Structure 1
Amino acid sequence: MHRRDLLRLAALSPLLAAAGRLPAAAAPAPTDLMPAFWRAYDAGRAAEDRARAIGQAFFAPNAELYAGAGLKPTPERLAAWLPQFDAIAEPARRLSQGFAGHYRRHVEHFQREFPDFQRERAPIYLMPSLFNFDGHLRPWQGRLPLFVGIDGIVRYHGADANLSVFLDHESFHLYHGQLVPELLMDEQPPVYGSLWIEGLATYVSERLNPDASRVQVLLDDRKLAAVDDATVRDLAGKLLAVLDSTSADDANRFFGAGHKGPEPARGGYLVGLSIARRIGRDRPLAELARTPLTKLRASMQQQLQALAAG
């Protein structure tokens, strides 16, 4: 999930805000590529070269959209992915068939909390991602769509994924960017900015899904969910030391899923969640989303100092 792709999002127009947004019932439905994929997948069973047949039937006609998502499904890439996908094809099929219902429920409860969210500016595409992502935000054709990898969801979250948590997290990033675009328009944001961006989205998904488990709120990262309070204190101290850093190494160290080192991967999400809980207690979520940049750094520093001190 490339949060930095949010950075080009345009500011919310006061005129549009005053006019209001589409009601939940009128929100545009996702563009669903999965029925076409399943037809190609099923038809390819008898092909001598399945990867090439499926590529020609589905991926080639959708090459422009895949380029928009930053993917190039070459025959070699498809051949490596296909045997692994076969193992999860049935739960992926069930998920894709039931996604529309999950999405309608998501829109209804998210729009109640954030009625000014411009959902019409955030199209959603359902597609196989070749395990590259579960949810991926990337500017394309003048808008910022959410590309949803059905195969990625099953692989990284399981067949019984909590889609409410997942969709709330992703939708909030879009909403947050519409309200405070200057926070998300920096291609290399400082650590304190990323800490708030990811921590607040995680906290919002927790508040909107009070029955969700800690693992689900942390996007099914079991290792991160198992982190103890002592490690959170240690992480807070390390984050303080690089609060203003804009280096890619520090971004990966605290927010990258692939980080390998003494710190737990994506530890910034957990610390950010702790901070958002402390700041957000008894405050409306939409108010938190409007936190101005002028107050953000001092607030992050103060909260990290408190966490580090235990």
Structure 2
Amino acid sequence: MHRRDLLRLAALSPLLAAAGQVAAADAPGPIDLMPKFWQAYDDTRDADDRTQALAATFFSEHAEVYAGAGLKPTPERLGKWPPDFDAMAGQVRKLGADFGRHYQRHVQHFQVEFPDFRRERAPIYLMPSLFGFDGHLRPWQGNLPLFIGIDGIVRYHGADANLSVFLDHESFHLYHAQVLPDLIVDDDPPVYGSLWSEGIATYVSERLNPDASLLQVLLDDRKLAQVDAATVRDLAAGMLKVLDSVAPDDSNRYFSAGHKGPEPARGGYLLGLILARRIGRDLPLAQLPRVPTPKVRLLLQQHLAELAQGTAA
């Protein structure tokens, strides 16, 4: 989740007012590039220069969408991708074919909880991402689309990925940006903002998918799902020290999948989930994204202190 991208969205358009409940049947569906991709993929399997053939028959045609997603299908990248993709192509086809069913389920329960979500302001694009991302939010054409790389989902979450959890998590980020953009109005947001944003997105996906495992809710991060209570206490104590920090190193330490250090990578997601569970006990689900920023800061500090001291209920 890139909160600076949400800031740019806020600059592109005014805060959207509540629009009333949108029926699931009326929600705009995903813009699916995969059928055209599969046609190109199948037609170029035996091409002498497969990289050039794929570029000519698919990627060049959709260059504008890829530019919108901030992804460049360079010849070098296209040349390295097919061997690994070929090995999972069947799984990607199956997951893509099932996407519509997962999407409708997601819309139905998400819209019940958040009826004022302006889904038309957050179009979804299904595309091969060359393993560049599973889900990516990036302002484009005055909206904040969700670009979904089906190949990225299979690579990073497996062929049996829980798409309902994934979609609820990402859609909540989009919704949160619509109802409370002031949480992210700084080019260098404080750590507590990311903690809350990721925490409640993870919590909402858990609440809307009660049958999902903790592993699925944490977006298939196996190491994070196995963190023990002592590590949670250490994470809370460390987070307290940098809660207001705007330094990228502090943010990466808790929210980057590439972090290497004593803390578990993406530890802020687990910590945020625990905090959102505690804070959410006293609030309706739809109220969580509307908690004013100063109160968010106060609540997070209070509950982090209790976790760090081992006194949390």
Aligned residue number for residue 143 of structure 1: 143
Tell me, yes or no, if structure 1 residue 291 matches structure 2 residue 303: no
Q: Secondary structure at the match of 1:129?
A: coil
- Tell whether the 8 Å contact from 1:200 to 1:273 is kept in structure 2 after alignment: yes
1:1-310 superposed matches below 5 A: 1-10=1-10, 11-14=14-17, 17=18, 19-310=19-310
- How many angstroms does 1:212 deviate by? 0.5
Q: Secondary structure at the match of 1:136?
A: strand
- Tell whether the 8 Å contact from 1:9 to 1:185 is kept in structure 2 after alignment: no
Q: Secondary structure at the match of 1:148?
A: strand
Q: What whole-Å deviation, never above 9, does each CA across 1:198-257 have from its counterpart, x for those lacking one?
A: 001000001111110010000000011011010010000000111110111111110001
- How many angstroms does 1:3 deviate by? 4.1
- The one-letter amino acid of 1:167's match is L
- The one-letter amino acid of 1:33's match is L
Please, which runs of 5 or more residues in structure 1 have no aligned partner? none
- Tell whether the 8 Å contact from 1:199 to 1:273 is kept in structure 2 after alignment: yes
Q: Secondary structure at the match of 2:45?
A: helix
- The one-letter amino acid of 2:169's match is H
Distance in 2, matches of 1:128 and 1:50, equals 16
- How many angstroms does 1:52 deviate by? 1.5
Across the two proteins, how many residue pairs are aligned to each other? 307
Distance in 2, matches of 1:103 and 1:3, equals 24
- The one-letter amino acid of 1:121's match is R
Q: Check 1:13–1:44 CA distance in 2 against 1; reply closer, same or farther (3 A cut).
A: closer
Moved more, 110-119 or 291-300: 291-300
- Tell whether the 8 Å contact from 1:9 to 1:178 is kept in structure 2 after alignment: no
- Tell whether the 8 Å contact from 2:123 to 2:145 is kept in structure 1 after alignment: yes
Distance in 1, matches of 2:5 and 2:260, equals 23
- The one-letter amino acid of 2:228's match is D
- The one-letter amino acid of 1:293's match is T
Q: Secondary structure at the match of 1:64?
A: helix
- How many angstroms does 1:72 deviate by? 0.5
- The one-letter amino acid of 1:85's match is F
- The one-letter amino acid of 1:104's match is Q
Distance in 1, matches of 2:224 and 2:155, equals 17
Q: Secondary structure at the match of 2:142?
A: coil
Q: Secondary structure at the match of 1:88?
A: helix
Moved more, 277-286 or 231-240: 277-286
Q: What whole-Å deviation, never above 9, does each CA across 1:127-175 have from its counterpart, x for those lacking one?
A: 0011111100000001000000000000011001100100000000011
Q: Which runs of 4+ in 1 moved over 4 A?
A: none
- TM-score normalised over the length of structure 1: 0.96
Distance in 2, matches of 1:197 and 1:75, equals 36
- Tell whether the 8 Å contact from 1:92 to 1:159 is kept in structure 2 after alignment: yes
- The one-letter amino acid of 1:127's match is M
Q: Secondary structure at the match of 1:219?
A: coil
- How many angstroms does 1:298 deviate by? 1.3
- The one-letter amino acid of 1:7's match is L
- Tell whether the 8 Å contact from 2:27 to 2:119 is kept in structure 1 after alignment: yes
Distance in 1, matches of 2:31 and 2:111, equals 20
- How many angstroms does 1:81 deviate by? 1.1
Q: Secondary structure at the match of 1:147?
A: strand
RMSD between aligned alpha carbons?
1.1
Please, which runs of 5 or more residues in structure 2 have no aligned partner? none
- How many angstroms does 1:21 deviate by? 4.6
- TM-score normalised over the length of structure 2: 0.96
Distance in 1, matches of 2:217 and 2:98, equals 21
